[in-house]
Amino acid sequence: MNQLETLLEKHFSLSTFRKGQKEIIQDLLAGNDVLGVLPTGSGKSLCYQLPAKLLDGVVIVVSPLISLMIDQVKQLRANGFKEVVALNSFLDRSMKKKVLNNLQQYKLIYLSPEMLQNKFLIERLSRLHVSLFVVDEAHCISQWGHEFRPDYLKLASTIELLGHPTILALSATATPDVQQDIVKHLHAKKMIKHIYPMDRDNIAFAVEQFDHIDDKLNYLVDLLKNYPVPTMIYFSSRVWTEKAAEVLTSKLPHQRTAFYHGGMEQQDRILIQQQFMADQLDIVCCTSAFGMGIDKANIRLVVHFHLPTQLESFIQELGRAGRDGKSSVSLVLLAPNDDVLPKMLIDSELPDPSVIKPIIHHLQNQGQTVDNQVEVIMEHFNVNETQWRFLRYQLEKQGMIVDNQVITNVEKIEEVMKMIIDLIRRRKNYKQEKLDELLEWSVNKQCRRKGLFSSFQTTVGQPKYACCDVCDFRFTDWEPPIERKSEFSSLNWEEQLKQVMMQGD
């Protein structure tokens, strides 16, 4: 057995590397910067977790998905990797202090992007020997990416402050343009690219058209009656997840259905997620909040009851199907006016141009720090957090906000306003195009697999089972493995208590 494999076995109890992992780790250990583009679920995290065990010093991971980061830390701890910590704004103050004073004891430190702003933290980190700096979800650095994060643009200077450690940038959804952006913004010209195909050969694609949105539910009921397989159904609103779960539960009494969305209490979210992982649930009706950190091998069917706002998210979500390599399906349900919700979502991501001037005036009149006014502004001008983050970043970039204070140069205001309004228009257009791309894909009568993946890779592989409904796939031919479910429990509370608490008679 090769030496790296021995170490993999030793530290993670895994016997073989998955595609790409070994190559990336070898490059990193040799001190090369790496850009890794691998599909979701391919095991990207291992590419820095193993080096964290092997390298002297500390590995820093910047990740925007806080829930995912917390999940990973939990998972690592559960598996015996204890020298790991996640620093984010949710950590309470005393904990944060305790962690900051003991940074040297960790081998792996996760940071949320806003923590990069924390000068004290960066100063502390710069005293450590940072062996590897990981940028997770690296596409967020690209202004044209679907999840642009202004904080990510500070990464290059952070990396410099930390004495230029080796860089690993990871993403599951980076088109060639975005890849270029990543290399540019990280100032990492010699980055070695490891790009792996996004397409998944065990997933077949299908799209169904309906005249009315209620027909979607009826169709699903019939389909799931015939295929009682582990299923995720994506919706773009919380209300819909609840409504659909109710209908499915009453129409499919032999399958266990639940809903999941970001409005639920944390503990209930954990319970639903773990029930699904443990095959205690068959169907989850969810928003995009579900799935980050979901690593269930036998999901056979991912349904999009509503489409997300771009191909990249869609690919990420359907990619949760069939991690075990067995036959799985991605199904999209379409009805008239399906584009209304995603359009609203896009609109809500950017501020209305008409509020910009009043906001600047407000800040000037108040003569206070910008931080002090955030809540007032959000409330008074009806801007949400995403919109404010965008606006503030732009105002800082244009020199309108300096050191937390608005400047009072009248001519400049007009100029900057024009710029920002123009930018908003372009961004909206861009997002609209991204949405159109996905909508077009969904109605196009060409091979769906090729349509989805051709912008990410030059060739699309041969499917292992069926391809898509345009080429060869029919549900009637689908033969997914169907696992025997445990029976519904009908124990009374005393029997059930005995069972849970392992008190056999």
Partner 1 sequence: MFITVLLDCIRKINSERSISSIYHLLTGKRSAQTLQDAHLYQLENYFGIYKTITRDELASVIKQLERQKCIESNQNAETAQISVVGKGLLDDASIFLELTGFNGMKYENISSHLEQRLLLLIQTITNIEARNNRFVAIVEDVGTQQFVKEIYNTMKNRRREWLRGLFKEIHSFLRTIPQNQASIFVDRLTGYDQFGLSKEQLAQKYQVSKHDIAVTLQLIIHKLLTFLLNETKNSLYLSTLIKDYVEQTFITNSAAETLNLFQRGYNLEQIMSIRKLKESTIHDHLVEIAYADADFNIEPFVTKDSFVEIARVIDELDSRKLKVIKQHLNENYSYFQIRLVMAAMQSHHKRGSELS
Ligand X SMILES: Nc1ncnc2c1ncn2[C@@H]1O[C@H](COP(=O)(O)OP(=O)(O)O)[C@@H](O)[C@H]1O
- Distances in Å between the Cα of 457 and the Cα atoms of 139, 195, 292 are 16, 9, 24
Out of 20, 36, 41, 463, name the contact with ligand X by CB under 6 A.
Answer: 41
* 290 contacts ligand X (rule: CB under 6 A): no
Binding-site size, ligand X (CB under 6 A): 13
In the chain, DSSP finds a helix count (H) and a strand count (E) of 19, 15
DSSP 377-408: HHHHTT--HHHHHHHHHHHHHTTSEETTEE--
Strands 108-111 and 257-260, sheet pairing = unpaired
Q: Quick check: 483 and 255 in contact, CB under 8 A? A: no
* 273 contacts ligand X (rule: CB under 6 A): no
Q: Helix, strand or coil for residue 316?
A: helix
| Residue among 198, 188, 186 nearest 142 (CA) | 186
Residue 44 or 449: the one with the smaller Cβ distance to Zn ion is 449
Binding residues for Zn ion, per CB under 5 A?
A: 447, 449, 467-468, 471
Contacted by 46, from Zn ion, ligand X, partner 1, none: CB < 5 to 8 Å by type = ligand X
| Residue among 431, 459, 430, 434 nearest 447 (CA) | 459
Quote the least distance from Cβ 463 to Zn ion, whole Å. Answer: 7
What's the DSSP call for residue 296?
-
Binding residues for partner 1, per CB under 8 A?
A: 70, 74-75, 78-79, 95, 249, 258-259, 264-272, 274-275, 278, 280, 492-494, 496-503
Quote the least distance from Cβ 466 to ligand X, whole Å. Answer: 25
Residue 41 or 165: the one with the smaller Cβ distance to partner 1 is 41
- With DSSP H G I counted as helix, E B as strand and the rest as coil, what are the percentages for the chain, rounded to 5? 45, 15, 40
Select the residue whose beta carbon is closest to ligand X and give its number. 43
Residue 337 or 492: the one with the smaller Cβ distance to partner 1 is 492
Quote the least distance from Cβ 450 to Zn ion, whole Å. Answer: 7
* 302 contacts ligand X (rule: CB under 6 A): no
Contacted by 492, from ligand X, Zn ion, partner 1, none: CB < 5 to 8 Å by type = partner 1
* 17 contacts ligand X (rule: CB under 6 A): yes
Out of 33, 42, 390, 480, name the contact with ligand X by CB under 6 A.
Answer: 42
* 14 contacts ligand X (rule: CB under 6 A): yes
**Cα 98 to Cα 94: distance, rounded to the nearest angstrom:** 6
Q: Quick check: 306 and 188 in contact, CB under 8 A? A: no
Q: Helix, strand or coil for residue 234?
A: strand
* 18 contacts ligand X (rule: CB under 6 A): yes
Quote the least distance from Cβ 4 to ligand X, whole Å. Answer: 11
Task: Give Rg (Cα) of the chain.
Answer: 24
Quote the least distance from Cβ 275 to ligand X, whole Å. Answer: 18
Q: Which residues contact 147 (CB under 8 A, 6 or more apart)?
A: 64, 137, 139, 140
Contacted by 468, from partner 1, Zn ion, ligand X, none: CB < 5 to 8 Å by type = Zn ion
**Cα 277 to Cα 255: distance, rounded to the nearest angstrom:** 15
Contacted by 471, from partner 1, ligand X, Zn ion, none: CB < 5 to 8 Å by type = Zn ion
**Cα 223 to Cα 95: distance, rounded to the nearest angstrom:** 49
| Residue among 219, 254, 301 nearest 480 (CA) | 301
Beta carbons within 10 angstroms of residue 370's beta carbon = 18
* 63 contacts ligand X (rule: CB under 6 A): no
Quote the least distance from Cβ 378 to Zn ion, whole Å. Answer: 46
Contact range with ligand X by CB under 6 A, out of 34-42, 302-310, 385-393, 471-479: 34-42
* 179 contacts ligand X (rule: CB under 6 A): no
**Cα 285 to Cα 291: distance, rounded to the nearest angstrom:** 11
Q: Which of residues 72-111 bind ligand X (CB under 6 A)?
A: none
Contacted by 301, from ligand X, Zn ion, partner 1, none: CB < 5 to 8 Å by type = none
Q: Which residues bind ligand X (CB under 6 A)?
A: 14, 17-18, 21, 38, 40-46, 295
